[in-house]
A = this chain, B = another copy of it.
Amino acid sequence: MASLTEGNTRPVRLADIAKAAGVSHGTASNVFSRPEIVRQEVRERVKAVAEAMGYAGPDPKGRLLRAGKVNAIGVATTEPLSYFFDDPFARVMMSGISEACDATGAGIALVSAGNQEKLAWNIQSALVDGFILFCIEGGSRLVELTRERKLPFVALELGFHDETISAIGVDNVAGGRLAARHLAELGHRRFAVLSLTLGEDRTGFVTPEEVRSAIYTGTRDRLAGYFEELSRFGVDTTKIPVFETENEAASTRAGLEAIFAGGEPPTAILAMSDRMAMIAIEWLTARGLAVPGDVSVIGFDGVPDAALCDPPLTTIAQPITEIGRRAAHMILDFDGAVRRETLGVELLVRASTGPAKA
């Protein structure tokens, strides 16, 4: 009856099998990891014993310690885990990462955490060979934490001006210019910008000084691109309202309210993400303003949904999948070097932009 009571018996280990089969643990190990070097008779006996004892196969936990390599790359963010499946930008990026991982047989471990403390723990204890960081918000902390693990990592979006870390991003200045030129050439002269965050935990209109001292250089560069190009067309960029949102519905709508509360509403909106752009289109339409009849809207990112909204969104497309693929390869083929890659962007003209109203 003892055997019945001890229902919670510990699992059989390789050593147990070895002893029961009367072979050394070295041989038992070989039966599973390099069966070809073990004599057939022995191999079969050991396998039979393993089967009989209910052995689950070599435990990866043990193997891992010896082998050193996990064969998985961690993708980390400060957003909740569902971000990876809900956010269109993240999804396309993950698709690119998946592709590279599939090709090499590596796995993907998703790492995230709501609060700071858990984030630290999760980064510290993730079983991965390297990290890809989604530097959305709280990015600097994420980078610090990851740096301490002393594993290879890449930051997506060259958010911070830190040349010591590997990063992949797009030419934000060029993207900004492309967007601005497109609208300017359509005759627009009154603009408003829906901006991504410039620092942490901020929202609302921003002043030119705040722009200059921005932590997030990605945001700053897009803005710089917009402004540089618009000044060439003689637009007084100091008059352009720039509203910083959290890249979601509530703050974006608040921004639109604020922007359109003024006396001279813009005829074109430069949104720094497709998400904001789509929210803007919805808001404008609901307000009875025609897009692009009354107001033109241009996005940034080039997520698939942007092609499907009504009207289809004109936007600056990033090579999102390619960024993901490259990021994964940077980790998978890590050689110790710090790499910073900047990819090009492309203007995708669809139907949300049109000539300025006369």
Contacts and interface: CB of A to CB of B under 8 A. Distances in A.
Interface string A59-103: 011111100101110000000111011100001101100110110
A118 interface: yes
A16 B29 CA distance: 30
Contact of A60 (B56, B72, B80, B124): B124
A164 interface: no
A170 to B, nearest CB: 20
A98 B127 contact: no
Interface of A: 11, 54, 56-58, 60-65, 68, 70-72, 80-82, 84-86, 91-92, 94-95, 98-99, 101-102, 105, 107-114, 118, 121-122, 124-127, 148-151, 308
Nearest to A83: B98
A11 B150 contact: yes
Contact of A108 (B57, B62, B86, B110): B110
Interface centre among A56, A80, A98, A308 (most CB of B within 10 A): A98
A102 B127 CA distance: 17
A291 B125 CA distance: 53
A308 B304 CA distance: 14
B127 A127 contact: yes
A26 to B, nearest CB: 19
A70 B124 contact: no
Given A85-B85, A85-B91, A149 B102 contact: no
Contacts of A105: 113, 118, 121-122
A109 B111 contact: no
A72 B62 CA distance: 17
A268 B148 CA distance: 60
A121 B113 CA distance: 29
A149 B56 contact: yes
9 contacts: A61-B64, A63-B125, A64-B65, A64-B127, A81-B98, A82-B98, A84-B98, A86-B95, A105-B122
A144 B110 CA distance: 25
Contacts of A11: 150
A94 to B, nearest CB: 4
B102 A82 contact: yes
A85 B81 contact: no
Nearest to A11: B150
Contacts of A127: 60-61, 64, 70, 72, 127
B107 A60 contact: no
Contacts of A95: 82, 85-86
Given A56-B148, A61-B65, 10 more contacts: A11-B150, A57-B124, A60-B125, A81-B101, A81-B102, A84-B98, A86-B95, A102-B112, A105-B113, A110-B110
